[in-house]
Structure 1
């Protein structure tokens, strides 16, 4: 017995291109001015985006890759599980992420679910995530001295070795969530020495203390510029912690709380 033929709406090629360009440009025109720009869609960046957007702040995340998750996907040496400790489990429960109890206060999480639901939570809260974008520089202002936005390029343009000028995106706060290299803060420290940023570099692993120190040291590095996640360990000279991610989401929540407070008081 023959099944009924499926009726699919036909769309001309020119219309496909027109719709993509038109609606992408609408987004970019809206993205030029923001409350917060987050650089990096890893665990701390997406957690920060979730809480910032949830608080009603206009938030955009620029990610150089074409995927979410930062270091989550690699797990531990490509094993697809990671460790989350309390109280970070409360954030994951809030986002509907399943936890397997390993011992009291220690949980195992699936990397794919963790990445997907972190991203979905941030987007559902109202954050915008744009892939394939590299933050090449920051914008700064004087009197008072502060970071006031970022300069962005297509990642593919940089990979091709082409020289093009970036476009500028303004923000009241910029968050470096780029991981171990703290790329945004490194650029700002080199090009704006007046900010007085010192970067001692990350130390070797000491997980038992690194988680707590990372969260405690999360926050403003210079006016308008903040560090979260592994960028904190690079900027503050802290130990790394390996495939335990509680500090990453707690750091994202803390930087969001700091920015919300700072913008309300400004």
Structure 2
């Protein structure tokens, strides 16, 4: 914007597709129309996910799920923190939070939410990381609003933490 120094605008479709393209070139795998049914645990560590096709789940079909083994799992499911909820409710694990569980998201406070989105991005249980609004929900952070800079920085921090953990 010419009359707003320090602000940047961009085409949201170009940004999203560019991020997806870059992630896939770096080796990320994206599974479309898939739902997480369960976590894989081994030796007190999260070791992957149990997934199934979303239409199978929605139609109530009896189809065996697929197991995806992974060194770590990143919950980027947003406000509901679905994977961390599954871990605390089904597996009864204690998260690395002040309460040992999911504290819950606070109402919107853009500046605080932007900062805490990055601050709260980390490993919450061996092999289980959270980023974005999922991390804020777990730690009781504020909603961040429509800015999204914190989301991008949170994703970058998660990638760095995971790469460091595995020596990459």
| Correspondent of 1:123 among 17, 24, 43 | 24
Q: Say whether residues 1:150 and 2:83 are aligned partners.
A: no
User: Is the 8 Å Cα contact of residues 75 and 134 (structure 2) preserved in structure 1?
Assistant: yes
User: Is the 8 Å Cα contact of residues 102 and 108 (structure 1) preserved in structure 2?
Assistant: no
User: Is the 8 Å Cα contact of residues 199 and 236 (structure 1) preserved in structure 2?
Assistant: yes
Q: TM-score, normalised by structure 2?
A: 0.90
Shift of 1:101: 6.5
Shift of 1:211: 0.5
CA–CA separation in structure 1 for the residues paired with 2:2 and 2:121: 27
Taking the TM superposition and a 5 Å limit, the aligned residue runs for 1:163-202 are 163-196=62-95, 197-202=100-105
CA–CA separation in structure 2 for the residues paired with 1:130 and 1:162: 19
Shift of 1:130: 2.1
Q: Note the residue ranges of structure 2 that are not aligned, 5 or more in a row.
A: none
Aligned-residue Cα RMSD (Å) equals: 1.8
| Correspondent of 2:136 among 201, 219, 233 | 233
CA 1:241–1:194 in 2, change beyond 3 Å: closer, same or farther? closer
User: Is the 8 Å Cα contact of residues 101 and 108 (structure 1) preserved in structure 2?
Assistant: no
- Moved runs in structure 1, 4+ residues, more than 4 A? none
